[in-house]
Amino acid sequence: MTTAEQYLKPEVINQIKRLDLRAQFVVKGFLQGLHASPFHGFSVEFSEHRRYTVGDDPHDIDWLVYAKTDKYYVKKFEAETNITGYLVMDLSESMGYTYRQELTKFDYAICLAASLGYLMIHQQDPVGLITFGETIHASLAPRSKRTQLSTILSQLSRLKPTGRTDIARSLAQTAALLKHRSLLMIFSDLLSEPEPVLQALMHLRHAGHDVILFHILDEAEVHFPFHGMVEMIDPETGEKVAVDADGMRSDYLDELTRFRKTYRDKCLRARIDYVELDTSMPFDKALMEYLLLRQARF
């Protein structure tokens, strides 16, 4: 395993208690891996460039970049470069669940959000923060100054998952809040009826916003490692149900597959980036989605 891959493992990140250092550690490992991969063209080094296309002025070609990549890139203008982002955090109590991972779904989401905030500020992209439960709890206007990162990390580190959630209602409120085209990076376990949530997501797309939906589940919710009679507790209602884990495993996994497929198919049609994650997965998948979408916009 390379050092870069080691940086991105959740169990390694969990050993770092300060959120600012966690974010730096994840991004450092990600960029180190990126520079050594076929995706080096998406790295921060070239974030201020785009591929040369017919109609561009040849005088704008950056020959230093050509020398490194053997490809033609032109420097972007300021107006082309900036993408305004919002980290949109689900604060529902269900996000606080973990079975045997050291990071809860919420811990995992917070670390991802912090890393994406770090990456955006590093690229001088304005980034803000929206938190929600049954309604929007708080919002922080996007800025690109270095001090914004400290503000975001401070707010993220104080968040606690508690109570119920209404994802569709909160996303509708988010749509009403936004005045300009933005990139919304949504972090949620999506434990809600999918249809209203998908309608709210499509409304955001119709309004011109870009959306990356990070669907974060616990490793146990994905693989269902339970056996015998177990007591299941709904984290938002406290309702307890005794179930035969072995008898329901097949039905549960089939239902989860259908649930994820519903989101995957409908998000694909709506041009929403849907990223399936669980708490055992390295963080690079989420960071790559941001860079790929950022690159595709220009």
Q: Which CATH code is given to the segment(s) 83-296?
A: 3.40.50.410
> What is the mean pLDDT of the segment spanning 48-76?
70
Nearest-angstrom CA–CA distance, 103 and 109: 9
Least confident of 40-44, 121-125, 214-218: 40-44
Nearest-angstrom CA–CA distance, 265 and 211: 15
> What is the mean pLDDT of the segment spanning 20-25?
83
The pLDDT assigned to 79 comes to 44
pLDDT (tens digit per residue) in 215-272: 999 999 999 999 998 888 776 677 888 888 899 999 999 999 999 999 999 999 999 9
Of 260, 224, 259, the closest CA to residue 244 belongs to: 224
The pLDDT assigned to 30 comes to 78
Pairing of strands 273-278, 240-244: unpaired
pLDDT (tens digit per residue) in 169-208: 999 999 999 989 999 999 999 999 999 999 999 999 999 9
Give me the phi and psi of 212, to 5 degrees please. -115, 120
Question: What is the SS3 assignment for 67?
Answer: helix
> What is the mean pLDDT of the segment spanning 131-160?
94
Nearest-angstrom CA–CA distance, 103 and 14: 7
- Both tokens of residue 90? 């689900």
So where are the chain's domains?
Answer: 83-296
pLDDT (tens digit per residue) in 68-114: 667 777 766 544 457 899 999 999 999 999 988 778 999 999 999 99
What CA dihedral angle connects 49, 121, 290 and 15, to 10 degrees? 130
